[in-house]
A = this chain, B = another copy of it.
Amino acid sequence: MANITQSMLDAIEQELQRQVARLDQPRTKSFHEMLTYHMGWTGEGAGPLATGKRIRPLITLLCTLSSFNDRENKEEVIAINWLHAKSAAAAVELIHNFSLVHDDIQDNSTLRRGRETAWVKWGAPMAINVGDALFVIANQAVLDLIDHYPADMVVKTASILNDCCLDLTRGQFLDMSYEERNDLSIEDYWPMIGGKTSALLSACTHIGSLLGYANEEKQEAYRLFGYHLGLAFQVQDDILGIWGDEALIGKSAASDLVEGKNSLPVLFALGKNGGFANRWKEGPITVEDVGPVSAMLEDEGAKEYAEKMSEAETQKALGYLKQADPQGEAGEELLRLANMLLTRKQ
């Protein structure tokens, strides 16, 4: 890992803790602890595995620095450095975590990064409030940019982030509404995943480049890089969720098939109305069924289709990244990170 990446990760963690500390007051100590537990800093199992990788804020800051390096007139904005964008980086991570806390309630998920979820520990009513607080703090963090940026850029950043949040709620609505539907096809996949996964990643790359003073054209390239990175990442996640080692061999209960997830391979095959579609409509896939049902999916072309889509989105993402032309060590790190995300096996 390059020095710059480690410096950024340290700054991100520090800024996140500073933002969340808004609740660290006499009467709300235990409320504050609920947030620090979810963020991975306190309680049983606290540590690097519990915090997650902070990919989103890291991408944000790398986009800021690699855009800033791009400017010819660096002197003009000499007072700007990537640290000035750290509260926006914290904001995207807080948004991500707000959505995780509410998702876990909505999906009835008991574990998150190997630890009990907030609603399991404190009940759904408290967990709803924990998610709400993370969301509010994210909005406050964005406004902290005013210490280093002109007000119109702060408004623009807040606007990008809130538009993304509305997309998150749209994606979440579609995901939940699909549970009751019997007529799904591949057409229903992209709007859902565009909201649930790509919206936030494209907000990260867009905001990052904006705060690095990239011009409009470059901002658009960064934004589209993030958008397609999100789609490629999600499709790959869907493939691994059915044919990854853990899903197939390790513990089949981890298979997306058992969880009934409306992933890309599943929606592709549902649209085909063949053997898989009939089996899916019959009821939940048991752990014993995982082997034969995933083979059925593969036979009907779902795996091949998903791999083709993942490859196509990956190429789009890398194409836009090339167009954005990120500069310096941060640019190299951004490319390395994108390649790592797009070629992971688990």
Contact residues in B for A174 (Cβ distance below 8 Å): 27-28
Given A143-B155, A150-B151, the answer on whether A169 and B136 have CB atoms closer than 8 Å is: yes
A129 at the interface (CB under 8 A from B): yes
B contact residues around A128 at 8 Å (CB) = 102, 105-106, 128, 131
Are A31 and B170 closer than 8 Å at their CB atoms? yes
Q: Write out, one digit per residue, whether chain A residues 150-166 have a CB within 8 A of any chain B CB (1) or not (0).
A: 11101100110011011
Q: How far is the CB of A15 from chain B (nearest CB, A)?
A: 17
A126-B158 in contact given A140-B166, A166-B137, A191-B27 (Cβ < 8 Å): no
- The 8 Å CB contact of A129, one of B23, B106, B139, B155, is B106
Residues of B within 8 A of A163 (CB): 140
Let me know if A132 is at the binding interface, CB within 8 A. yes
| Residue among B126, B136, B143, B173 making CB contact with A173, cutoff 8 Å | B126
Q: Is residue A74 within 8 Å, beta carbon to beta carbon, of the partner chain?
A: no
- Copies of this chain, complex-wide, total 2
The digit string for A110-152, where 1 denotes a CB below 8 A from any CB of B, is 0000000000000011101101110111011001001000111
The 4 closest A-B pairs by CB, nearest first: A151-B151, A106-B125, A151-B152, A133-B169
The answer to whether residues A162 and B143 also contact, given A169-B136, A170-B31 and a CB cut-off of 8 A, is yes
Given A22-B166, A140-B162, A151-B151, 17 extra CB contacts under 8 A: A23-B170, A27-B174, A27-B191, A28-B173, A102-B132, A105-B125, A106-B129, A124-B124, A126-B173, A129-B169, A132-B169, A133-B169, A136-B169, A139-B162, A146-B152, A151-B154, A154-B155
Mark contacts of A168-195 with chain B using CB atoms, 8 A cut-off: 1 yes-contact digit, 0 otherwise.
1110111011000000000000010000
* Least distance between A23 CB and chain B CB atoms (Å): 7
Closest B residue to A154 by beta carbon equals B155
CA distance A105 to B143 in the complex (A): 30
CB closest residue in chain B, given A105: B128
Closest to A170 in B: B28
Partner of A158, one of B102, B139, B165: B139
Known: A151-B150, A163-B140, A170-B31. Is A176-B126 also a contact (CB below 8 A)? yes
Contact-residue bracket for chain A? 35 or more
Chain B residues, Cβ within 8 Å of A30? 177
Chain B residues near A131: list those with CB within 8 A: 128, 132
Least Cβ distance of A263 to chain B in Å?
18
Instruction: For A28, list chain B residues within 8 Å (CB).
Output: 170, 173-174
A-B pairs with beta carbons under 8 Å apart, 26 shown: A27-B170, A27-B174, A28-B170, A28-B174, A30-B177, A31-B170, A31-B173, A105-B125, A106-B124, A126-B173, A126-B176, A128-B128, A129-B172, A135-B135, A136-B162, A136-B165, A137-B166, A139-B158, A139-B162, A139-B165, A140-B163, A143-B159, A143-B162, A146-B152, A146-B155, A151-B152
Q: How far apart are A147's CB and chain B's nearest CB, in angstroms?
A: 11
Q: Are B140 and A151 in contact (CB under 8 A)?
A: no
Within the assembled complex, what's the spacing in Å between the Cα atoms of A168 and B30?
16
A33 vs chain B, min Cβ distance (A)? 11
